[in-house]
Structure 1
């Protein structure tokens, strides 16, 4: 022992005169779910799947108390890939009453189509209709971010004989509006939309009355429809017409997309609302400059087993269906946008990609078309690979995932505005439409906004038809896009749409549904027109031609059979050296991975085209009910 600096130092290990320098290790504090603050717990619980919330509830009395006594937990709970059934019905109902949009949507659809709830046949339409009405009404009250949409489920056709669940829902909602004094504007809009689709003049008159009442309740969509119905009468009187257009400007300012499009068309074609030409151009300019690119590359981050070629095949097939059923270009663009938005949100097994595509088309045709794609016909178009109930459930998943927002700005909307701004020759207009639909097939083009694509597609169409002054000062003033701004997009469009080889299916057959769609007489056979070369286009644009790599041919082994043929003889898809043989019992499952042996066996039997199939004249049953209902 020695003293140093006034401190006694002892070298003896057995000496206890000084405190030991050895530190006592403290046990690390274990962070458990129960140790978290309640605010953090709520944040975690609110975004869990419903099944996980129930599992956590059973862990500890405190967690049980939080789950049972706070409605906000169920209001945000996820019901992804869950469907109402007798076992979980109370859970769905509790969540819906707590403000859960997804639960309310699925309950309304489940009761309407009697899917998953096994209601007995006796009085089914009456019982299910009243319950569906309750949850559809709740859905619209919760639907604050999108236009009213429940009408698309109860729209015609209705059952021509006997009771009809759709009719029961309609009458129940109508009775609710008579007694309820608040929150009925969107319901009245939906009821008016249903009545406006009937041929009966009395029903249409009643529809206008409902739109009027709905508009008075503050429903912007009803106000726009009333404006649209009075437009023809207003056009005969200049004073009334000017007042009508001022109303339109008011609706557009409040955020109604259809009103914004109509206003831009009116300003673009010279109806200037009493404004100077410069001010009119600014109205169109604001619409175009508000458009932003929405990249679709994240699709392949969410969908691990999907690639550009698989998406191309799916969209190509949807184009075939749209051609066979004569659906509009807007319907097709909306369908593709719904598919892409869903793919960015939720993982879809390869075996259900075709189901997703056809379900989106069913929804979009109901939303904008007079003629719809019925559920039974949609199932038939997939060679009955899916069942009626599969499609019903997928519709519920799509509506809930997209939060009811079906109608969004598309390339077609901006195209129609541009066509109103400058006169366009008929064949150039067909070529313009052709380019716009071809652009749907390529995700890489999503780096440009829809407005930018629409402007570039118009410029490309005019250049390909060698029109003088393809991009005028008027187009620049209305869109805000300089000629030089559009060149990269024009080159990308031409390269993708006309220069690169189209992908091939596993039999090395090119997938060219859009080209065949525009070979029809109504488009003056524009799909068969000889296309300007890439080098010629570069010379016209005054840019140096870049060396382009030849398109890599796809390996047959990489192409998986994942689509079934929509049957029918209403398209002109032609194949070289293809002979339709009896398919016998060989039917594939969409997106099913086949072994090399199975591909060899099936190679000569499978056909994805719309031709060579039995004639199907359409679904004659009540669309909203299964066989035997009503």
Structure 2
């Protein structure tokens, strides 16, 4: 190129900071370019370098001293990424959180110690790094580590980290409640954190106000505080997904979300984790095109990230690979995690319908079955992109109103609810009708094999939800009559159109491995859609495989000394060869011949015993 242009590119940091590394991964051939971009302020390059060094993915560092060398490199680039993205909540702790290996070298531990040393030496602001170190320590079952975690949060808070300030407030809340004056002061602090933009603080504030703790304010002012949080919620506009994703339609998204619900049910992940996962999937789909063959990879990678962010029980990378029936490799998932974090700019925790639902559940008292129905409607709303014209707050309010009407409660929308949300009954009617039409229409969408997609319904047919998924709902005409609106023909859902054009893009062994045994009819319904290696195992054999699941994929790349599963500690297992000697048969008369577990290309090493 012309020497002037070369000078501009080489010597202006803004060019490197704005360069896109989409679908490009660090490798020996481009490492110098990645490192140069990262050092000059490129967030995506820093994130991908940190992950690449942590998992030794794409850089091929020699085995000798790998964890120590890579750990120091990963620490440097994770620290850089955290400083470059000060606007988002600190996130690098997701990658180095426990469990750590108790024997051999552990790259996570090296990164932690390196970051800790950095905080002790540098005079620059390090609040977000201290927050990450504190989060890591708080997850250990060691009282000394937790005490050190609080000390780090204190220092991080002094340096202006809002997330650390909120976590300190959370840890001191119980003690503050014993003294009314101290508690009032505590709630005033909370109001300050909420005003500065901390989402968790805003939700905690709304719960406190809605529950009668009025921060020294009049009741009206307290309601206005909650209302402001609800009214600030904006529609997510998911329809733009299909502008970016040319080869994707609503049914394909429906199939993907339905499968994610099934995984969440099998692993007992919370509704918040599920809603966050779907939120990350949708935000990524609005930003970057994803080939059909990688949609499932995107979904499971988002779930891996979100479980790490909010849950003590994580979905490990090896288990996530297994859940896709080894359609993807360990390294594919590692790289997709880098793509997601980069595209979302480290912003994982965003407002969800569940957040507003928890506030409203505090504002009004609900019977248990109505509360379960409320949760059921909120999860059903995840499946339909057309509902995105409404904000999460409006959806949560309309779902509450619909749940109370379906259970024929008198005065379903009280003046207190109207004041706290800022939504009148008339404001919510269109959303209520849309929710009913999308969530309770008789003709459930089907995949290309004409298999009903009913994972949410199955999830709520469990006894813990009092089998609310089996409850027969009133008709649409009855609903319109109770609401006093003219019944209009809802018309066919676009999800039912052109189903024959949908090709399979999911493959999963999770279908029949839920911890809560489903009815045979439900299992058969889903069985033709997913591949289930454990489908023909006895209960005892299935339990054994549960305990050793991640070791069945131990030949995948990554650190053998840096296991993620909490069951993979020294002495817990002897190795894959000692797990279980069992032959697993795949029978699908429509597509596949009978296969046995010796076909390691399809099953992954370890299943053959």
TM-score normalized by the length of structure 2:
0.87
| Residue 619 (structure 1) aligns with | 550
Shift in CA distance, 440/605, structure 1 to aligned 2, threshold 3 Å: closer
- How far apart, in 2, do the equivalents of 1:569 and 1:237 lie? 48
- How far apart, in 1, do the equivalents of 2:465 and 2:220 lie? 35
Say whether 1:296 aligns with 2:296. no
- How far apart, in 2, do the equivalents of 1:613 and 1:563 lie? 20
- Does the aligned pair in 2 maintain the 1:153–1:624 contact within 8 Å? no
- How far apart, in 2, do the equivalents of 1:265 and 1:406 lie? 22
> Is the partner of 2:239 in helix, strand or coil?
coil
Per the TM alignment, residue 148 of structure 1 is displaced from its structure 2 partner at its CA by 0.3
Instruction: Pick from 540, 544, 558 the counterpart of residue 501 of structure 2.
Output: 558
- How far apart, in 2, do the equivalents of 1:169 and 1:624 lie? 22
When the two chains are superposed, the root-mean-square deviation of aligned CA atoms in Å is: 2.1
Q: Alpha-carbon deviations, 1:604-625, whole Å to 9, x = none?
A: 9653679726534243699998
| Residue 599 (structure 2) aligns with | none
In structure 1, runs of 5+ residues without a counterpart are: 1-58, 581-602
Say whether 1:239 aligns with 2:170. no
Say whether 1:339 aligns with 2:271. no
- Does the aligned pair in 2 maintain the 1:158–1:622 contact within 8 Å? no
> Is the partner of 2:440 in helix, strand or coil?
helix
**Map 1:230-629 → 2, pairs under 5 A:** 230-551=172-493, 553-554=496-497, 557-567=500-510, 568-570=512-514, 572=517, 607=530, 612=535, 615=542, 616-617=545-546, 618-619=549-550, 626-629=558-561
- How far apart, in 1, do the equivalents of 2:186 and 2:523 lie? 58
Per the TM alignment, residue 185 of structure 1 is displaced from its structure 2 partner at its CA by 0.4
- Does the aligned pair in 2 maintain the 1:366–1:373 contact within 8 Å? yes
Q: Alpha-carbon deviations, 1:581-607, whole Å to 9, x = none?
A: xxxxxxxxxxxxxxxxxxxxxx99653
In structure 2, runs of 5+ residues without a counterpart are: 563-609
Q: Alpha-carbon deviations, 1:345-379, whole Å to 9, x = none?
A: 00000000000000000000000001000000000
Per the TM alignment, residue 162 of structure 1 is displaced from its structure 2 partner at its CA by 1.2
The farther-off stretch of 87-96 and 505-514 is: 505-514
| Residue 209 (structure 1) aligns with | 151
- How far apart, in 1, do the equivalents of 2:169 and 2:390 lie? 33
Per the TM alignment, residue 559 of structure 1 is displaced from its structure 2 partner at its CA by 2.3
Larger radius of gyration: 1
> Is the partner of 1:453 in helix, strand or coil?
helix
- How far apart, in 2, do the equivalents of 1:500 and 1:147 lie? 42
- How far apart, in 2, do the equivalents of 1:371 and 1:566 lie? 20
- How far apart, in 1, do the equivalents of 2:6 and 2:530 lie? 55
- Does the aligned pair in 1 maintain the 2:325–2:531 contact within 8 Å? no
**Map 1:63-82 → 2, pairs under 5 A:** 63-82=5-24
- How far apart, in 1, do the equivalents of 2:257 and 2:518 lie? 15
Instruction: Pick from 84, 94, 100 the counterpart of residue 142 of structure 1.
Output: 84
Per the TM alignment, residue 94 of structure 1 is displaced from its structure 2 partner at its CA by 0.2
Per the TM alignment, residue 329 of structure 1 is displaced from its structure 2 partner at its CA by 0.2
- How far apart, in 2, do the equivalents of 1:440 and 1:187 lie? 34
> Is the partner of 1:544 in helix, strand or coil?
coil
TM-score normalized by the length of structure 1:
0.84
- How far apart, in 1, do the equivalents of 2:347 and 2:304 lie? 15
Shift in CA distance, 298/401, structure 1 to aligned 2, threshold 3 Å: same
Per the TM alignment, residue 215 of structure 1 is displaced from its structure 2 partner at its CA by 0.5
**Map 1:44-59 → 2, pairs under 5 A:** 59=1
Shift in CA distance, 625/387, structure 1 to aligned 2, threshold 3 Å: closer
Q: Alpha-carbon deviations, 1:3-26, whole Å to 9, x = none?
A: xxxxxxxxxxxxxxxxxxxxxxxx
Matched residue count: 550
Per the TM alignment, residue 441 of structure 1 is displaced from its structure 2 partner at its CA by 0.1
Q: Alpha-carbon deviations, 1:63-101, whole Å to 9, x = none?
A: 111111212110110000000000000000000000000
Per the TM alignment, residue 183 of structure 1 is displaced from its structure 2 partner at its CA by 2.1
- Does the aligned pair in 1 maintain the 2:451–2:529 contact within 8 Å? no
- Does the aligned pair in 1 maintain the 2:251–2:447 contact within 8 Å? no
Per the TM alignment, residue 578 of structure 1 is displaced from its structure 2 partner at its CA by 8.1
- Does the aligned pair in 2 maintain the 1:456–1:486 contact within 8 Å? yes
- How far apart, in 2, do the equivalents of 1:577 and 1:219 lie? 48
> Is the partner of 2:213 in helix, strand or coil?
coil
Shift in CA distance, 281/498, structure 1 to aligned 2, threshold 3 Å: same
- How far apart, in 2, do the equivalents of 1:231 and 1:215 lie? 16
